Structure 1
Amino acid sequence: MDANFWHQKWERGEIGFHQSEANPFLAAHFGQLKLPQGSRVFLPLCGKTRDFAWLLAKGYRVVGAELSELAIQDLFNDLGLEPEISPVGELARYRANSIDIFVGDIFAVSAEYLGPVNAIYDRAALVALPAGIRGPYTSHLMDITGSAPQLLVTYQYDQGLMDGPPFSVSGDEVKQHYGDIYQLKAVESQNLTGGFKGGVAATETAWLLQKANK
């Protein structure tokens, strides 16, 4: 799976992973991170998620990374904002009041480019990546954010019944990637109504990741 896969998805409007409203797990559990207003929240592989609007309305500043420029143009249109666009290394930076988005390969996003991050909200990044990329991604994410606390959303289903994305990520895999650095807590799990494509049964889980005291 390469960049062209995602560019073609957005160009053809094949964005079934996009939700028209803020994610219920975000509304239910983000407050457990106990962030003051004005905190800066990073959304990796963010697409044009409505979660941005929810976070902005709660008084947070938001920063994202996304491969598709079409998605980010749609995002700013949806928010009614006119972005200032500038090059940053191999990336394009879209900026407006309280919002920064880096467009391009997330592995080109450095800690220096990103700036301070108080929390991570990963609803659609880890589950969007094939197994071989998830390890490098999680290591990179911790590196550029200083292992900021995280609200993570995963799916678990029989991967043999459906090709991802979203991919199935088990609790054991979450622990494999993050258990050495974070204390992990599964705060809610729900069976997806109707399942995935073709009725594949799936469970969606919200995780809170807080840096472990060692």
Structure 2
Amino acid sequence: MTPEFWQQRWQRGEIGWHSDAVNRHLTDYWPRLAVPKATCVLVPLCGKSLDMLWLAGEGYSVVGVELSATAAEAFFTENGLSPVVTDLAPYPFCCYHVDEIRLLVGDFFDLSAGALRAIGISRIDAVYDRAALVALPPELRARYAQCLAPLLRELPGGSAPVSLLVTFDYDQSRMPGPPFAVAAGEVQALFERDFRIDELTSFDVLPENPGLAARGLDRLAEHVYRLQMLGAA
């Protein structure tokens, strides 16, 4: 799965993963993370998610990372926002900035502490992942986890960074991803070295997704996790 795959999906408007509403798990479970207001939340593979607006409205500084400039421009246009756009060379990103929202356009796997410092971010206090891990095939999921933890350790917040992670679990043989199935055991294997993992809830969401049932699924569970970084200040 190449960057071109995602670029083409956005250009063709094939973005079935996008929701026109703020995610219910974010509003229901974010308060349990007890992330202090006025701190920084990283949103990997953010697309044009309205969740970023919700987080900013709750008083957080939000940094989204998105491969597609089409998605970034749609986020600001559709929400009536006029960002300042800055080329971050030599870092391979452009930054779209309005108030408390910064959206970095580029490949998440190229993200570095240096690029974040270049846009005035010196600490990451939390991560919100609703659509990043489940968008990646297995080999990239491992790479994602291996990139995330060092980044959080290099830019630690005032306390141990915490993440809200949302995943799907289903019989992968019945439907190719994305979104990909990520079982609880895989979440444990990916993150247990660097995070304490607590499952907050799980839901049977197949009745809410008739399109996925039509593609052959007979089971679709959504899981919500709290990940607390180990050994951080």
- Aligning the two structures, in what range does the TM-score lie when normalised by the shorter sequence? over 0.9
Alpha-carbon shift at residue 213 of structure 1 (Å) = 5.2
Aligned mates of 2:24, 2:10 — CA distance in 1: 24
Gaps in structure 2 of 5+ consecutive residues: 154-159
Aligned mates of 1:111, 1:67 — CA distance in 2: 18
Gaps in structure 1 of 5+ consecutive residues: none
Aligned mates of 1:2, 1:126 — CA distance in 2: 15
Aligned-pair identity in percent equals: 37
Match in the other structure for 1:103: 105
Contact 2:174/2:216, CA 8 A, preserved across alignment: no
Which segment drifts farther, 101-110 or 145-154?
145-154
Contact 1:61/1:99, CA 8 A, preserved across alignment: yes
Which one-letter code corresponds to 1:13 in the other structure?
G
Contact 2:43/2:127, CA 8 A, preserved across alignment: yes
Asked if 1:166 is matched to 2:179, the reply is yes
Contact 2:112/2:151, CA 8 A, preserved across alignment: yes
Match in the other structure for 1:211: 229
Contact 1:155/1:202, CA 8 A, preserved across alignment: yes
Aligned match for 2:135, one of 101, 122, 128: 128
Match in the other structure for 1:26: 26
Asked if 1:40 is matched to 2:58, the reply is no
What RMSD in Å do the two structures reach over aligned CA positions? 1.5
Match in the other structure for 1:143: 150
Which one-letter code corresponds to 1:142 in the other structure?
A
Alpha-carbon shift at residue 41 of structure 1 (Å) = 0.5
Aligned mates of 1:199, 1:75 — CA distance in 2: 32
TM-score, with length taken from structure 1: 0.95
Match in the other structure for 1:13: 13
Which one-letter code corresponds to 2:50 in the other structure?
R
Secondary structure at the aligned position of 1:143 is classed as: helix
Alpha-carbon shift at residue 90 of structure 1 (Å) = 1.3
Match in the other structure for 2:60: 60
Alpha-carbon shift at residue 199 of structure 1 (Å) = 4.9
Residue by residue over 1:62-84, the C-alpha shift from the partner in whole angstroms, topping out at 9 and shown as x without a partner, is: 00100010100011112322111
Where in structure 1 do 4 or more consecutive aligned residues deviate above 3 Å? none
